[in-house]
Amino acid sequence: MDLGSLSGYLTDALLVLAGLFVLAVGLLVLVLAALYVADVTQTRHAIRRNYPVIGRLRYLFEHLGTFFRQYFFAMDREELPFNREQRSWVYRAAKDLDTTVPFGSTRDLRPAGTVLFVNSAFPTLDRDSVPARPITLGPDCPRPYTTASFFNVSAMSFGAISKPAVRALSKGAALAGCWLNTGEGGLTEWHLKGGADIVFQIGTAKYGVCGEVGVLDEGRLARIAAEDQVRMFEIKLSQGAKPGKGGILPAAKVTEEIAAIRGIPAGRDSVSPNRHLDTEDVGDLLDLVARVRRVTGKPTGIKTVIGDETWIEDFCGEIVARGAAAAPDFITVDSADGGTGAAPASLIDFVGLPIQESLPLVVDTLEAHGLRPRIKVVASGKLINPGQVAWALCVGADFVASARGFMFALGCIQALQCNKNTCPTGVTTHDPQLQKGLDPVDKAQRVASYARNVMHEVGVIAHSCGVAEPHGLRRCHCRVVQADGSSRSLDRRRPEATPGAERRRA
């Protein structure tokens, strides 16, 4: 090809490119003009009407702000629901990286409510430390459950989280020796495949053990109980993020598989009743506990958010009247700032008591009625770091269960997409393209490492306080900063502030 022909071809190509550019610009102008007309003529959005076209950028920035706020704008300890420092500790622990920090703490020790642990003048030497002691739940059941793990995986249903997430949690829990709670969505092969001990949760819809939604089917319940890995049953009354509201799984996340497991139509919102249809009062609740325990032969407890404190008093009073054998084998106390896949903002922001108030209330009420040795206590709700877990043990919990801590171990970045099908890390989505980012084999190791490191560092706190193992922590080992700046020991509480005190004096 001679130089003249080449020049001709280049000229033609440039003309074509110029034509395409003009066409693209023309189309862009037409689109912008159409958007302009649409914005100035609509009346629903003032920003778009006053600032046509560019006002639409507000929605883009609002959406992107969720993702970038944590990286560019928030300080280490100011973001909610979990700040960067909390998440970073979980990420390092899950990867088995060094969790030590240099120079000094960024934690402000002055605000009221700050928890401080009381170090001993003579801390426990390594040679004197012992593993966490095993605790048996339901010792009088035909099949009791004994575990030494005081930090476990809290309820997350298959549906709220993805299949690879469930697989990773199951295998990771088995590696760490802790239990995995199914959440209210029923039991799947993915829960069992990893070999973990399972706590089967019975929600208000009774998914997985119902003939029709909300009605318990004892035959199905017995089949679940026949699985050796299913070690306990938890009857969920309420959860921290939405007290008084049943579970909510948006239609976009109700796949054919999930619908089959739950016994509901696919592609429709899965909304559980806001309470169990067969429980009108504390007597009915104890009857339900007894029924589940009779059919399964395994420890059976309840999960609840504390609101009306007279309820727990009445509950304990009914147990005493019936006899200690009628008591649930454990109570899981969830916090008002607990997590969820989806909840009404009015409930997630305003209803229920936080764990800092409800856990001492429950422990003290059980003690006041002489039921504390009979009923084990599980603390749940935003307890993801060693200090928070150690606090719960000091107050009187036997176990701590975490959901969002283990989500961070799976790779969650707090993108706040849980109620949609767009989780960028594959944890809470059923989009196969997004799930590909979550490798169950790798993440199982992170789940196990996170659990082990939490329990190890709680042990470090316990040894600093001069006790041999985490269950040796007591309220005297913990202080809370007061409004005047001084701190006060947790065991210094007025008798009249202890639930049940008035009844005992009478």
Residue 172, CA atoms < 13 Å, CB-side half-sphere: 32
* Segments making up each domain of the chain, as ranges: 3-72, 126-505
pLDDT of residue 263: 83
10 Å Cβ neighbour count for 96? 14
Does 178 or 342 have the greater pLDDT score? 178
10 Å Cβ neighbour count for 283? 15
pLDDT of residue 505: 28
Rounded distance, CA 359 to CA 363, Å?
6
pLDDT digits (tens, 9 = 90+) for 98-142: 888 777 788 888 999 999 999 999 999 989 999 999 999 999 999
One-letter amino acid of 506:
A
Rounded distance, CA 68 to CA 74, Å?
9
Whole-Å CA distances, 106 to 76, 83, 102, 103: 8, 12, 10, 9
The percentage of residues in the chain with a pLDDT greater than 70, rounded to a whole number, is 91
Q: Provide the pLDDT confidence category of residue 380 given band limits of 50, 70 and 90.
A: very high
If we measure between CA atoms, which residue out of 56, 29, 51, 27 comes closest to residue 40? 51
| Mean model confidence pLDDT for the chain | 88
Rounded distance, CA 239 to CA 139, Å?
27
pLDDT of residue 361: 96
pLDDT of residue 503: 34
pLDDT of 494 above 70: no
pLDDT of 312 above 50: yes
Highest average pLDDT, of 223-232, 270-279, 412-421, comes from 223-232
**How big is the chain by its Cα radius of gyration, in Å?**
27
pLDDT of 236 above 60: yes
pLDDT of residue 412: 87
- Which residues, other chains included, contact 302 with Cβ-Cβ below 8 Å and sequence gap of 6+? 234, 235, 236, 237, 285, 289, 328, 330, 331, 332
Does residue 383 sit in helix, strand or coil? coil
Rounded distance, CA 71 to CA 75, Å?
9
- Which residues, other chains included, contact 301 with Cβ-Cβ below 8 Å and sequence gap of 6+? 137, 232, 233, 234, 235, 289, 328, 329, 330, 331, 332, 375, 376, 378
pLDDT of residue 497: 38
pLDDT of 330 above 80: yes
pLDDT of residue 76: 58
pTM of the model: 0.83
pLDDT of residue 4: 63
One-letter amino acid of 388:
Q
CATH for the 126-505 domain, from 3.20.20.70, 3.30.70.141, 3.40.50.300, 3.90.1150.10: 3.20.20.70
Range 303-313 average pLDDT: 93
Rounded distance, CA 94 to CA 402, Å?
14
Across 72-134, the runs of DSSP E, i.e. the strands, are: 115-117
pLDDT of residue 46: 63
Range 283-299 average pLDDT: 98
Tokens of 401: 């269960």
pLDDT of residue 340: 79
The span from the first CA to the last CA of the chain, in angstroms, equals 110
Does 59 or 155 have the greater pLDDT score? 155
If we measure between CA atoms, which residue out of 405, 366, 360 comes closest to residue 383? 405
The percentage of residues in the chain with a pLDDT greater than 90, rounded to a whole number, is 57
Highest average pLDDT, of 75-89, 182-196, 344-358, comes from 182-196
Does 144 or 275 have the greater pLDDT score? 144
If we measure between CA atoms, which residue out of 234, 243, 211 comes closest to residue 289? 234
pLDDT digits (tens, 9 = 90+) for 73-105: 555 556 667 777 888 889 899 999 888 877 778
pLDDT of residue 58: 65
Rounded distance, CA 363 to CA 316, Å?
11
Torsion, CA 179, CA 382, CA 479, CA 313, rounded to 10: -80
Rounded distance, CA 194 to CA 440, Å?
10
If we measure between CA atoms, which residue out of 502, 481, 499 comes closest to residue 112? 481
Rounded distance, CA 216 to CA 225, Å?
14
SS3 content of the chain, % helix, strand, coil (to 5): 45, 10, 45
Q: Provide the pLDDT confidence category of residue 6 given band limits of 50, 70 and 90.
A: low
DSSP output for 450-492: HHHHHHHHHHHHHHHTT-SSGGG--GGGEEEE-TTS-EEETT-
pLDDT of residue 56: 80
Query: Quick one: CA dihedral 355, 356, 360, 361, positive or negative?
Result: negative
Does residue 346 sit in helix, strand or coil? helix
Range 157-163 average pLDDT: 90
10 Å Cβ neighbour count for 44? 6
pLDDT digits (tens, 9 = 90+) for 58-78: 666 656 665 666 555 555 556
H helices, E strands: number in the chain: 17, 15
pLDDT of residue 137: 98
Tokens of 39: 């914005």
Rounded distance, CA 52 to CA 39, Å?
5
pLDDT of residue 69: 60
pLDDT of 57 above 80: no
